[in-house]
């Protein structure tokens, strides 16, 4: 792929062209956080890299999943064929709240929804993978002296062989990132530890520690957290954190992953129009189906939307094991 299209929710001055030319599309997105130990990430203090072994980082990741339906004649639309495009942007913050590294990942594949077996109920379906899974991985590179300044202060990111993007300062992801950074910087406790261990008390503690800063983070209760924890291998695969989330079950309450945003589900409908200048039909601009679109703020709703997304764990099982 010659050009990358980061989610429009995250960056400015860019149309996400790769998800537009489809008859309809289902988009699910959310923000999650977790804590990992990384030996391969250095911490820079005073311009010098410090000891790298066993550093603890708070990771904040935005996940966007696009199921792009392919309108194929003769295919029952109850069991559509589609192109799946999953995009994740992840930043790793040290205990002082400074962004030390980041990466952008894309996972793409064709699939079709099918009955689990010929005798299965109409609603009992699975995803059948078609062809190869395409993986794109780009590291976020520092433009200034420190990556933290690029991301938090200047709101820009430079991807490895992928150009420079301007972060949307009004996006939820940017606000969550700044909030987690501020929490780690102003307290002596990891954000994820505080969230998972004392979820109900976090809001007051964070506001007291950060003061006048806006703290938009919403910590999910156990059903949603458990759904993520049972699919750690999938999360690791999608955000390029393989072998870093192999956590002991007793550590779940301290390390996450946890969802710190609502889970958003937005179906888009698109139409073709005849372009007299070009003499061909072209796709228009996708519009959200407002009758179906939802922001899953309740834990029950979050879990439903999240479970639909985590079905990927079964679909990509062989890829994840590689």
Using only C-alpha atoms, the chain has a radius of gyration, in whole angstroms, of 20
pLDDT at 18 (0 to 100) = 92
CA distance linking residue 299 with residue 221, whole number of Å: 7
Is residue 66 within 8 A of residue 26, CB to CB? The reply is yes
**Comparison of pLDDT for 103 and 38, the residue scoring more:** 103
Predicted confidence (pLDDT) at residue 244 exceeds the cutoff of 60: no
What number of helices (H) and strands (E) belong to the chain?
10, 15
CA distances from 238 to 195, 224, 243 (A): 23, 18, 12
In contact, 69 and 79? CB cutoff 8 Å: no
How far is CA 179 from each of CA 62, 74, 155, 223, rounded to the nearest angstrom? 14, 50, 14, 24
The larger pLDDT score, comparing residue 41 to residue 63, is at: 63
Establish whether the linkage from the previous residue to 257 is cis, with ω within 30° of 0.
yes
pLDDT at 110 over 90: yes
Residue 229 has pLDDT above 60, yes or no: yes
Interval 303-309 mean pLDDT: 86
Predicted local distance difference test score (pLDDT) of residue 249: 46
Query: Is 61's pLDDT higher than 90?
Result: yes
Helices 222-229 and 299-310: crossing angle in degrees, nearest 10, is 10
Taking alpha carbons only, the member of 228, 220, 226 closest to residue 199 is: 220
- List CB contacts of 317: < 8 A, sequence separation 6 or more: none
Structure-model confidence comparison of residues 212 and 103, the more confident one: 103
**Nearest CA among 315, 314, 227, 214 for reference residue 263:** 227
Q: Tell me the C-alpha distance between 163 and 143, whole Å.
A: 11
Tell me the CA distances in angstroms from 44 to 21, 93, 98, 248, 281, one per residue in order.
Answer: 43, 11, 9, 29, 53
Q: 25-29, 105-109, 130-134, 273-277: which has the highest mean pLDDT?
A: 105-109
- Statement: residue 281 has pLDDT above 90: no
Nearest of 285, 93, 297 to residue 180 by alpha carbon: 93
Answer whether 16's CB lies under 8 Å from 8's CB.
Answer: yes
* Residue 199, phi then psi, degrees to nearest 5: -55, -45
Range name among 79-83, 298-302, 316-320 with the lowest pLDDT average:
298-302
109-131: string of b/e by CB count within 10 Å (b at 16+)?
bbbbbeeeeeeeeeeebebebee
Please report, for residues 6, 106, 157, the alpha-carbon distance to residue 138 in angstroms, rounded to integers and kept in the order given. 12, 9, 11
Residue range 140-159, pLDDT digits in tens: 999 877 899 999 999 999 99
Q: What is the mean pLDDT of residues 237-262?
A: 68
């Amino acid at each position: 792929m010659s050009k990358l299209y980061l989610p429009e929710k995250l960056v400015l001055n860019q149309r996400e062209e790769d998800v537009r030319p489809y008859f309809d599309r289902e988009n699910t997105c959310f923000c999650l956080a977790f804590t990992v130990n990384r030996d391969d990430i250095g911490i820079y203090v005073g311009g010098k890299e410090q000891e790298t072994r066993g550093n603890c980082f708070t990771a904040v990741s935005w996940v966007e999943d696009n199921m792009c339906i392919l309108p194929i004649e003769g295919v029952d639309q109850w069991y559509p064929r589609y192109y799946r495009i999953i995009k994740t942007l992840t930043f790793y913050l040290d205990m002082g709240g400074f962004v030390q590294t980041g990466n952008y990942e894309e996972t793409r594949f064709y699939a079709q929804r099918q009955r689990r077996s010929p005798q299965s109920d109409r609603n009992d379906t699975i995803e059948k993978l078609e062809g190869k899974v395409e993986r794109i991985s780009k590291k976020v590179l520092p433009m200034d002296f420190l990556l933290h300044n690029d991301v938090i202060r200047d709101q820009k990111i430079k991807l490895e062989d992928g150009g420079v993007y301007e972060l949307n300062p009004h996006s939820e992801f940017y606000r969550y990132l700044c909030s987690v950074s501020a929490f780690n910087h102003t307290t002596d406790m990891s954000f994820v530890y505080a969230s998972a261990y004392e979820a109900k008390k976090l809001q007051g503690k964070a506001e007291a520690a950060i003061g006048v800063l806006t703290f938009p983070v919403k910590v999910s209760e156990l059903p949603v957290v458990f759904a993520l924890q049972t699919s750690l291998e999938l999360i690791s695969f999608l955000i390029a954190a393989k072998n870093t989330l192999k956590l002991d079950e007793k550590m779940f309450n301290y390390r996450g992953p946890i969802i710190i945003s609502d889970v958003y589900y937005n179906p888009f409908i698109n139409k073709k129009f005849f372009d007299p200048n070009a003499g061909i039909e072209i796709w228009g601009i996708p519009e959200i189906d407002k009758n179906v679109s939802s922001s899953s703020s309740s834990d029950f709703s979050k879990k439903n939307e999240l479970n639909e997304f985590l079905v990927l764990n079964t679909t990509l099982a062989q890829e994840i094991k590689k």
